[in-house]
Structure 1
Amino acid sequence: MPTSTDRTTQYAHDVVSGRIVAGHLVRLAAQRHLQDLDAAGARGLTWDAAEAEKAIGFFPACLSITEGAKVGQPFTLLPWHLFTVGSIYGWKDANGLRRFRFIWLETGKGQAKSPLMAGIGIYEIVGRKRQRAEAYAIGEDRKTANVMFRDAAAMCRAPIPGCGEDTLESTGRVIIRGFGDNAWKIEHPKSGSKFEPVANSDAISGPKPAVVLADEIHEMKTNKAISIWRAAIAKMSGDPMMVLGTNTPSVDQQVGTSYSEFFQKVLRGEFTDDSAFAYIARTDKGDDPFNDESCWIKSLPALGVTYPIENVRKEVETSRHMISTALTTKRLYFGIPVGTAGFWINEQSWMAIQGEVDEEEMRGRRLHLALDLSQKNDLTALSGCWEGETLAVKTWYWTSGERVAERSTADQIPYRELEASGDIAICPSPTIEYDFVAEQVRNLCARHDVAQIVVDPAHLEDFLKGCRAVGLDVWRYEGEDKPAGVGLKIVNHAQGSKVLFQGKQLCMPVSIRHFEDHILKGTVTVARSRLTDICASNAVLGTDAQKNKWFEKNKSRGRIDGLVTIAMAVGAATSEMEAAEPEYQVHII
């Protein structure tokens, strides 16, 4: 396909060449555009620069900015807007229809996503000249759905650039139902098209959407609205599309995280989906946004235009002195997908210890196992910690197949997706069969020097039955004065706040202290796992006057099983290593 010098393509060239500073994921989007200009013809795709320019030109020709420092000026698209709109309307499939049907827009806070999406909704019902086109602004509730729709209504009531006081409404091109902020529908009488906000709970009879627009995806607690509307789009002929806008979601915001990760994989070429377009503006790994302003533009492409740089400077200055706001600032402004503001330990230190743990490379190092047994339809975690100068930890997870979709929503964990990526095993039975867990323990014992398995005594009898079923010999440690048994040693690990010193029994405050020390010193590697990250982001610590710490399971934001077993395993390994260190005595003669 011949090289074009249209504005969309010029933006892509400028990003790839470095003339426009952009993050890695935006550079991938630009590279994809340029590569497709050369190679996508073989897939039946074509680039229509005239259609791209027509859509880009609609905004400043028909719409005005309705708030902020530039209120009243023509809605001239920002460079990142321009690339997005040009890509959406310029690329065509083999049938001459719109190529991109699933759009993801992820930027830092205040980058004019909502006005852009509102403008796209207006263009769909006014500018494309399609009969009976339907545009919907959706949300989990009416308030969320109305935010973007109010932008659209305000633009329809604002003066058309170059036309004095004439507006789309006053000239009769559109009719707005409702007054002021209570507007509830925009109609285009000439084509019979409409644009309206819809909440999850609203009953819509047979919608035929040309476009579905949803903002604030990072705040969505369930995937219900997106799934329902994607199903409605799938039934439509023509080229309907869905546009999703969001700030970077935190680790525990599973709906936003799952979609963001999908679109990132498309940009990286891990998934091939010619119908998916993504503009993901984030700072890059290695950037230091708290100390280097030059990287801010990567996640804030409207910085200094629609969003004052002083606003960001104030947020950063506050966050330097208030750890409680630092994580939120990193996520909302700089696109760093950290956990929640109440993360249980220093977030950077936690991220720094994530890595790869190869079981085969661990052979010859003593292994300590930790097991947190669940109720039979819950989540079960088994962690292993290998001794060494730097400890190495890996975790295995199981859950049952019973009501897995329902539990995914309740737990905010995409179990089927994690199963596909190898992060969890879903038992085919309606309950977790502990035979599966016991078999994994037996395999580890066969390949490694397993010193012990530490357990929360709850549900232990079910695990012992599983051990007998797979032929794994085990015995329960009951104290130094009791004889040792045959097979794998089982040691109790107390949960909660109580500090225990009798015998070799382990307890959570001591294990957490050991775990924290290793994290902050960088002397542990925790196998990278999305489910482990979810558990870590859900954890809440309790403390007492003696600075003992424990996991507050009743106050956690969700499942923490994996983090609990990791702490138990690290605590067990560290206690054993410390006990084995030689004691030196000094005799003065």
Structure 2
Amino acid sequence: MSKHPHVAAANRYAKDVVAGKIPACRWVRLACQRHLDDLAKSKDRAYPYRFDPDAAEKWCRFIEMMPHTKGRWAAKSEKLKLEPWQAFKTACIFGWLRKSDGFRRFRKALILEPRKNGKSAWAASVGLGMLTIDKEYGAEVYSGATTEKQAWEVFRPARLMAAKTPALQSHYGITVNASNLHILANGSRFEPVIGTPGDGSSPSCAIVDEYHEHDTDALVSTMETGMGARDQALLLIITTAGSNIAGPCYQMVLEARLMLDGVTDDPELFALMYGVDAARGKPGDDDYEPADDWTKPETLRKANPNFGVSVKGDWLEKQQRDAIANARKASAFRTKHLNEWVFAREAYFNVAKWMAAAQPGLKLEDYAGMSCWVGVDLASKIDIAAVTYLRRPAMTL
């Protein structure tokens, strides 16, 4: 039996994604390729990072010691079980170290996952690990968000996990309070934060949930600047996509894409962004790749790595059917379950039905003699000018 089964599963997952055996979007493929490439580079003495399978395995095993807190697994008192893709992100974040001092390489992790893929339970376990096995004296772990409800989405399961694990409390001296976890011996604490932490805070771990809801980067910026005194602090951002492309979350996504594409270099950022692929290139070009069709059932598996595990396939397929039939549900479905950045919260009409009504063989001269309405949008500076012709064909009885 392998000494590092979770690491083996993580590396196998990365290889299968790159080989196309596991369907995944471009950004997940690039993240997996980056890990495999870095493993090869790490054999060079001049490369500044190394992968420590012991460290990665320790964190995976710790997470699997945590109990489920809701649903049928909690009813059976079962522990968390990392799927290969979850082992991959855990192993990458905690297994890559700096050769110079042995501290962790990644100080920031951006994780985009659609809803119901188990990100809150995983993040709660990470928070508990940063409080305990990370061995940071006076650790300050925060679950931050813009609202109290959202801040508790990660802290609540973490508190329940600690409360349901007496051995963890006893070994590390954890006191489970109503609104925080505290280790009296070294002053470490884990608590929810709304907005920004107060002056004097020195986060060793900040978990930011649903970053797409943030209008500014105030919380993230405050967390980052407070981490300066920590040797291996971690800023963990877990979120779905959203509709605010002017917000800080989308800007961070764009920066992560540039990093994964090799355009920019940010060796301390880990990014794993699940979703669907947009079109690349132009139709007719050799390198053209069409966009994924969000109405197809196979697209659900590609965007949801825990399809059939924590997110039920039949339930997700029903949500997809409802979104196809109802334009007002389409945007929410595509952002929350496919991680598409949809630039409007609600649609005016059903685009899928509009496209289905198309008749490609029609020509302009087919409408000769019919009444016509012309809509013109004239550009005054840099906007796009547009002309639309609307004709009503004669009705046949």
Superposed pair shares fold, TM > 0.5: yes
Report the counterpart of residue 112 of structure 1 in structure 2: 118
Pairing partner for 1:79 from 84, 102, 105: 84
Query: Which of these residues, 234, 237, 248, is aligned with residue 244 of structure 1?
Result: 237
Residue 195 to residue 14, structure 1, CA distance change in 2 (3 Å) = same
Matching of residue 141 in structure 1 with residue 134 in structure 2: no
Matched, 1:68 2:61: no
> In 2, distance between residues paired with 1:59 and 1:295?
29
Question: Aligned to 1:309, which of 308, 313, 317?
Answer: 313
Q: Could you tell me how far apart the structure 1 residues matched to 2:380 and 2:209 are?
A: 32
Cα deviation, 1:178-236, whole Å, max 9, x if unaligned, reads 2xxxxx1101344432111111165x241121111100111111111111111112x22
1:152 aligns with 2:158: yes
**Are 1:176 and 2:176 an aligned pair?**
yes
Q: Is the 8 A contact 2:69 2:160 kept in 1?
A: yes
- The one of 201, 207, 213 aligned to 2:207: 213
Q: Which amino acid aligns with 1:49?
A: P
Q: 1 CA distance for matches of 2:308 and 2:380? A: 42
Deviation at 1:341, TM superposition (A): 2.8
1:261 matched residue in structure 2 = 254
User: Quick check: 1:566 aligned with 2:383?
Assistant: yes
**Contact 1:169–1:175 (CA<8 Å) still a contact in 2?**
yes
Q: Percent identity, please.
A: 25
Secondary structure class of the residue paired with 2:117:
coil
TM-score (norm 2): 0.81
What is the CA-CA distance between 1:564 and the residue it aligns to?
9.5
Q: Which residue matches 2:103?
A: 97
Q: CA deviation at 1:328?
A: 1.8
What secondary structure, in the 3-state scheme, does the structure 2 residue paired with 1:70 have? helix
Deviation string for 1:51-73 (max 9, x for gaps)? 00010011122x11111232221
1:288 aligns with 2:104: no
Alignment CA distance shift 1:348-1:232 (3 Å): farther
1:419-568 equivalence runs, <5 A: 513-514=375-376, 566=383
How much has 1:253 moved relative to structure 2? Answer: 5.5
Q: In the comparison of the two structures, how many residue pairs are matched?
A: 351
Q: 1:124: how far off?
A: 0.8
What secondary structure is seen at the aligned counterpart in 2 of 1:43?
Answer: coil
Match of 1:15 in 2: 17
Give the deviation of 1:262 after TM superposition: 1.0
Question: Which of 217, 222, 225 is the matching residue for 1:223?
Answer: 217
Following the alignment from structure 1 to structure 2, what is the Cα–Cα distance between the partners of residues 563 and 334? 37
In structure 2, relative to structure 1, the CA distance for the partners of 1:311 and 1:348 (3 Å cut) is: closer
Conservation of the 8 A alpha-carbon contact between 1:252 and 1:340: no
Q: Any idea what SS the aligned residue of 1:175 has?
A: strand
Does the 8 A contact of 2:9 with 2:84 survive in 1? Answer: no
1:322 equivalenced with 2:317 (yes/no): no
How far apart are residue 335 of structure 1 and its match? 1.8
**SS, match of residue 168 in structure 2:** coil
Aligned Cα root-mean-square deviation (Å): 2.9
Deviations 1:220-272 (A, max 9, x none): 11111111111112x22411110001101225462221111111111111111
Tell whether the 8 Å contact from 2:241 to 2:335 is kept in structure 1 after alignment: yes
Q: Say which one has the larger Rg.
A: 1
Matched, 1:48 2:52: yes
> 1:108: how far off?
1.0
Query: Any conservation in 2 of the 1:65–1:73 contact (CA below 8 Å)?
Result: yes
* Counterpart secondary structure, 1:214: strand
Separation in 1, partners of 2:379, 2:156: 44
Residue number in structure 1 paired with 2:368: none
User: Mind listing any 5+ residue stretches in structure 1 that lack a counterpart?
Assistant: 161-165, 179-183, 351-388, 390-509, 516-560, 576-589
Question: Partner of 2:204: helix, strand, or coil?
Answer: strand
Q: Does 1:58 align with 2:62?
A: yes
Aligned in 2, Cα 1:132/1:171: closer, same or farther, shift over 3 Å? closer
Alignment of 1:400-415 (within 5 A): none
Q: 1:100–1:316: structure 2 CA closer, same or farther, 3 Å change rule? A: same
For 2:121 and 2:19, how far apart are their aligned partners in 1?
Answer: 29
Q: State the shift of 1:169 in Å.
A: 4.1
The aligned amino acid for 2:237 is L
Shift of residue 152, structure 1, vs aligned partner:
0.6
Deviation sequence 1:259-310 (CA, Å, 0-9, x none): 111111111111111000011001223322312x223122111111111112
Which structure would you say has the larger RCO, counting Cα contacts within 8 Å and 6 or more residues apart?
Answer: 2
CA distance in 2, matches of 1:64, 1:155: 6
Distance, in Å, in 2 between the alignment partners of 1:314 and 1:7 is 31
CA distance in 1, matches of 2:51, 2:292: 35
Taking a change above 3 Å as real, the CA distance of residues 44 and 565 of structure 1, as seen in their structure-2 partners, is: closer
Q: Which whole-Å CA distance do the structure 1 matches of 2:379 and 2:334 have between them?
A: 25
In structure 2, do the counterparts of structure 1 residues 209 and 251 end up closer, same or farther at CA, with 3 Å as the change threshold?
closer
Give the 3 Å change call, closer, same or farther, for CA 124–313 of structure 1 in structure 2.
Answer: same
Q: Structure 1's 153 and 39: CA in aligned 2 closer, same or farther, altered over 3 A?
A: same
- Shift of the 346–55 alpha-carbon distance from structure 1 to 2, 3 Å rule, reads same
